[in-house]
Amino acid sequence: MYNSYRPVPGWALLLFLAALAVFGVALRLFVGPDLMELGMLGILGAFYAVMLCAVVVSIAPLRTAAFPALGVRGAGWKPVVFGAIGTLVLSVAVSKIGPEVKGMQAVEELVREPRAFLSSLLLLGLLAPVVEELIFRGLLYGWIAGRWGTIPAWLVSSIAFAIAHYEPAHILLVLPLGLLFGYLRRRTDSLLPSTVAHIVNNSFAVLAAAYVDG
C-alpha cells in the first residue's frame, strides 16, 4: 500500500450524485425526445458523458489531492499485465459457464455493423471502463476505504458495480470481474491496473461480438 493514500471525502460523493442528477435533468430538458434519434451509441455516449462530467465536478474542489484520493498513480507493470491476463481468462470462463444476457443482444448487433464498430470500440471499450472505474473504484472505493477500510471498500464497490448492470444475468456475469478489479485496486492502491483490465475486458467483448460470435 502507498503511504500517500488519501480518502475521498463524503461531500465529494454527494456532490457527484447531485451533479449527476442536475446534468441528467439538463440533458433530458435540452435534448429531450431528440436523444432517442441519436441511436443506441448516441444514448450511451450521452450517458457516459454525463457521468464523466459529474465525476469532474465532484473532484474539482480537491484540486491536486483528487489524484491520490482516486488512486490515480502508477502501479508498476506486473499488476497491470497480470491483471489484464487474469481478466481475459476470467471473462472467457464466465461467458462460457454463465447465463445468456438478453439485454446485451442489441449491443452485440450494433458492434457488428461495420460503420459503428470503431465508435463502439472507443465508447464501450475505452470511455465506459474509464468512467466506471473512476466512479466505482475511484469515488466509491475511496470513500468507503477512508471510513471502514479497504476490505469493505473492495466488496461494496464490487457489488455496486455489478448491480449497476441491472439485468440479473448480467449482474452474475459481472460480479466476478468486479471482484477482480476491486482486488487489483486494493492490492496496488492504484486505479491503473483495474482500469487497464476493464478496458481489456470490454474491448475483447466488442471484438468478440464483431468478429467471433457473429
Q: How far apart are alpha carbons 32 and 35 in whole angstroms?
A: 6
- Greater confidence (93 vs 113) lies with 93
The 3-state secondary structure of 96-116, one letter per residue: HHCCCCHHHHHHHHHHCCHHH
The verdict on residue 34 lying in a domain is: yes
Q: Are 190 and 74 in contact (CB under 8 A)?
A: yes
pLDDT tens figures, 61-90: 999 999 999 999 999 999 999 999 999 999
The verdict on residue 2 lying in a domain is: no
Average pLDDT, the chain: 88
Q: How many other CB atoms are there within 10 angstroms of residue 132's CB atom? A: 22
pLDDT tens figures, 38-65: 677 888 899 999 999 999 999 999 999 9
Radius of gyration over alpha carbons of the chain, in Å?
17
Instruction: Give the residue from 90, 113, 102, 103 showing the smallest Cα distance to 180.
Output: 90
For residue 56, give the C-alpha cell: 469532474
Arithmetic mean of pLDDT, 23-37? 77
The verdict on residue 178 lying in a domain is: yes
The verdict on residue 3 lying in a domain is: no
Q: Are 135 and 56 in contact (CB under 8 A)?
A: no
pLDDT tens figures, 97-148: 766 666 667 677 777 777 778 888 999 999 999 999 999 999 999 999 999 9
Spatial CB neighbours of 88, under 8 Å, sequence gap ≥ 6: 200, 201, 204
Arithmetic mean of pLDDT, 12-32? 91
The verdict on residue 18 lying in a domain is: yes
Domain count of the fold of the chain: 1
The verdict on residue 147 lying in a domain is: yes
Place of cell 474491448: 203
Given this model, what pLDDT does residue 34 score?
66
The verdict on residue 50 lying in a domain is: yes
- Give the 3-state secondary structure of residue 172: helix
**Residue 103 structural domain:** 10-211
Whether pTM exceeds 0.85: yes
- Greater confidence (146 vs 1) lies with 146
Given this model, what pLDDT does residue 38 score?
63
pLDDT at position 3 over 50? no
pLDDT tens figures, 164-189: 988 787 888 899 999 999 999 999 99
CB burial string 71-90: b at 16+ within 10 A, e below: beeebeeebbeebbebbeeb
